[in-house]
Structure 1
């Protein structure tokens, strides 16, 4: 089941489509982080201003340097020891769609601990965009049955995993991390 869903989602993402999928936090809308057209489809679906950034997901921290110019050493410790999902906002984003890079050159990155996401990212060989599966300004869905119908109808593929789960999941903690190692919490 998992392998089939990864293969179906991979095909859609490789063809420039957007998917609705479970993550280690809440349900997300995603696409290939290098595909600007697909990224713009997500902004349009969410009715979100393009100045509000979305994050990228990686399957392992050893890929951070491929997408961030100067990864602070502290980032690796934070990822390794975080008890809850952690998104790090770091400057110097590279090798992703310009539509994902904030005005200050930063991007939010989360290393996922979720088998579907890990396998999809490994097979895609690029980061996956992730943003909450909701219209901008509406509450984030804590599980699948809370996702708005217009979002479900607006994606190219809905991953058929964890749809019956009622486990309450929350968005990740977000920290801004500078190359010098200074940090601040943006969302706890």
Structure 2
């Protein structure tokens, strides 16, 4: 697996796009701080830039690089939630401006997936993770359902088995500054 991680790492460092398994669905990823790479994802997915993307980070320490004030309630989601949960945070920093939503928020998840965690730690930074489909089309449930347009549009396809990937997207919640939690997607 180290060779695969190295190839994915090199692709990300060069501003390329990767297709990779996550703890939820197969994702298209790039360096979350590279606005040109983020733009390539929007173009490949044929997605409006007004529709925000999700990022992955390896742990709460890495999260604090991008979110200055992590609400205390977020830690209970990291430690106690069995279902993959993406959290929308206010006031992200040090990331590509075209990745941040118009309301100055960003959705971030800490994955429970060996490959993702190893890649994130080697990359030492946030990686975009958006479902491997054209915008508006169904999310593929397995690698074999990923369209040829997506496969041709990325710079590196991670060659790992499907079975370690869940078949549905994460839950999404938004944490407000007052400590309240809003469920966006169950």
Please state which band the TM-score falls in when normalised by the shorter chain: over 0.9
Partner of 1:185: 183
Partner of 1:176: 174
| Aligned partners of 1:70 and 1:179 also within 8 Å | no
State how many pairs are aligned: 186
Segments of 5+ residues of structure 2 without an aligned counterpart are none
Partner of 2:39: 40
Paired with 2:126 and 2:164, the residues of 1 have a C-alpha distance of 27
Paired with 2:20 and 2:153, the residues of 1 have a C-alpha distance of 13
Partner of 2:12: 13
Q: With the length of structure 2 as denominator, give the TM-score of the two structures.
A: 0.97
Q: How far 1:157 sits from its partner (Å)?
A: 0.5
Q: How far 1:69 sits from its partner (Å)?
A: 2.3
Q: What stretches of structure 1 move > 6 A for 4+ residues in a row?
A: none
Paired with 1:180 and 1:64, the residues of 2 have a C-alpha distance of 20
Paired with 1:167 and 1:82, the residues of 2 have a C-alpha distance of 17
Segments of 5+ residues of structure 1 without an aligned counterpart are none
Q: With the length of structure 1 as denominator, give the TM-score of the two structures.
A: 0.96
Matched, 1:139 2:138: yes
Aligned to 1:4, what secondary structure does the other structure show?
helix
CA RMSD of superposed structures (Å): 1.2
